[in-house]
Amino acid sequence: MEKRVIKFTDTTCRDAHQSLLATRMKIEHILPIIEKIDAIGYHSLEVWGGATFDTTMRFLGEDPWERLWEIKKHCKTPLQMLLRGQNCVGYKHYPDDVLEAFIKYACQGGMNIFRVFDALNDIRNMEKSFEYVKKYGGHNQAVLCFTTSPVHNVKYFVDMAKEVQKRGADSICIKDMAGIAKPADVAEVIRGIKNEMDIMIQVHTHYTSGMGAMMYLKAIEAGADVVDTAISSLSMSTSQPAVETMVAALEGLTDPQGRYYETGLSQVKLKEIADYYADVRKEYAQFDLTSGTPDTNVLVYQVPGGMISNFLSQLAQQNALDKLPEVLAEVPRVREDFGYPPLVTPSSQIVGAQAALNVLVGERYKIATNEVKQYMRGFYGKPPGFVNEEIRKKIIGDDEVITCRPADVIEPAMQEARNAVAAVMQKEEDVVTYAIFPNIALGFLEERLAKKTQVDFTLAKEGTENGKCVTYPA
């Protein structure tokens, strides 16, 4: 009987803990189980990128490059990362020389698949990533950030898919970052793309609204080749659907051509990993703040779970938690003024912070954040729709609005970064780390050097003799 293989990407070691545990998972909780994850038979393992790069330094005291190298030692399955296009793994646009160096060292360090997105779906902000990934031997997975608005329809996404393929995309990911994608809508987009071109389609969602697994089933039926899932003990809520559930759901089902779905994944082997992470999750209880129930507010406001957390923190600082309903209602209005950007990093933070300000100040756009001003000046790229020109003028006055690719006006930065870390760098990757996160990286690199110096001093003091440690008099 003819079968159709459905593949899975595991997000447990990146997006799952980023979504549920504030990106706090330490490498010590990945390495003991990574070989068993590697043996499952996944299409790829998402283990890097997104917020993991800065968080490992900021909160865990780990070098993100060494984290990649350690994971790669134990994996034959292709490794995958989330790359924010010209934003790299940061929150603003970086010059081309920084982006190229990052991709070069990531490829050399063992990264295989680069999932490249832009918060505005501005392909100009993705094209250099495509070029460099191809140059250094990686796989380009181009992202269509899924959202709904008067300008986002099937034709919009099909046209974008065709364009990214022309620019070098090897596969396409439909990224439903807010968990708002309805099954019928995604299925229609997938059919539209498959009717126009021959390319692998992967689908990513978050379970925030409770529709994730239903959407995946319809996406697979429409022609999706790969779906993103997490191990059950780190799934659901603002994470991805559970892999075990999806594997079981596909058993006995057929596609429109009558082919039975086949995954090749073992529930017995998956259970061992699920049990392991059920115990590990307890170690991060202080960060594990999700309710575990669907948040249907996202269907009305398109506000991802992380934005809700930011709102609560921001409003609590102002003793204004009672204003949350007003802020949520303001988000779609700000989004419309801004030309309907998808709400994903960093556009979600830009729109969300401004919505909160509008409510707290009591007058819309009386105060605007620096990021909003830069957005209105065109430095984040071209929005999908038209910006409200009256609002733009209120925010930036008569300031010039650029229409070129934003990175074209950014000066190279690698040499300056090299000079800044010359005294503390231990490898070439340190220069890239500093170029992207100078404030975090410098302190991290200084502390790491101090620890190394102490270790070197101790070894020199002890000395060695015949392969054994010998302590010499002080």
Closest CA to 445 of 91, 102, 63: 63
Class of domain 303-396: mainly alpha
Q: Decide: 63 and 56 in contact? Cβ < 8 Å.
A: yes
| Distance of alpha carbon 12 from alpha carbon 203, whole angstroms | 16
pTM: 0.93
Please state the domain extents for the chain.
3-287, 303-396, 413-466
Peptide bond into 384 cis (omega under 30): no
Helix, strand, coil content of the chain in percent (nearest 5): 50, 10, 35
Closest CA to 79 of 43, 54, 128: 43
Closest CA to 200 of 113, 120, 72: 113
Q: Two tokens at 295?
A: 């948040």
Instruction: Kindly give the confidence (pLDDT) of every residue in the chain, 474 residues in length, as a single tens digit, with 9 standing for 90 and above.
Output: 799 999 999 999 999 999 999 999 999 999 999 999 999 999 999 999 999 999 999 999 999 999 999 999 999 999 999 999 999 999 999 999 999 999 999 999 999 999 999 999 999 999 999 999 999 999 999 999 999 999 999 999 999 999 999 999 999 999 999 899 999 999 999 999 999 999 999 999 999 999 999 999 999 999 999 999 999 999 999 999 999 999 999 999 999 999 999 999 999 999 999 999 999 999 999 999 887 888 888 888 777 666 776 777 778 888 999 998 999 999 999 999 999 999 988 998 899 999 999 999 999 999 999 999 999 999 999 999 999 999 999 999 999 999 999 999 999 999 999 999 999 999 999 999 999 999 999 999 999 998 877 666 565 556 544 444 333 333
Instruction: Look at residue 191 in the predicted model and tell me its pLDDT.
Output: 98
Q: Two tokens at 89?
A: 């793994």
Instruction: Look at residue 312 in the predicted model and tell me its pLDDT.
Output: 73
Q: Decide: 114 and 133 in contact? Cβ < 8 Å.
A: yes
CA distances from 352 to 92, 93, 268 (A): 16, 19, 43
- DSSP letters along 348-362, please? HHHHHHHHHHHHHHS
Instruction: Look at residue 295 in the predicted model and tell me its pLDDT.
Output: 84
CA distances from 248 to 264, 267, 436 (A): 11, 8, 42
Whether the domain at 3-287 and the domain at 303-396 fall into the same CATH topology:
no
Q: What are phi and psi of 308, to 5 degrees?
A: -60, -45
Tell me, what DSSP letter sits at residue 149? B
Instruction: Look at residue 184 in the predicted model and tell me its pLDDT.
Output: 98
Report the topology of domain 3-287: TIM Barrel (3.20.20)
Peptide bond into 341 cis (omega under 30): no
Instruction: Look at residue 466 in the predicted model and tell me its pLDDT.
Output: 46
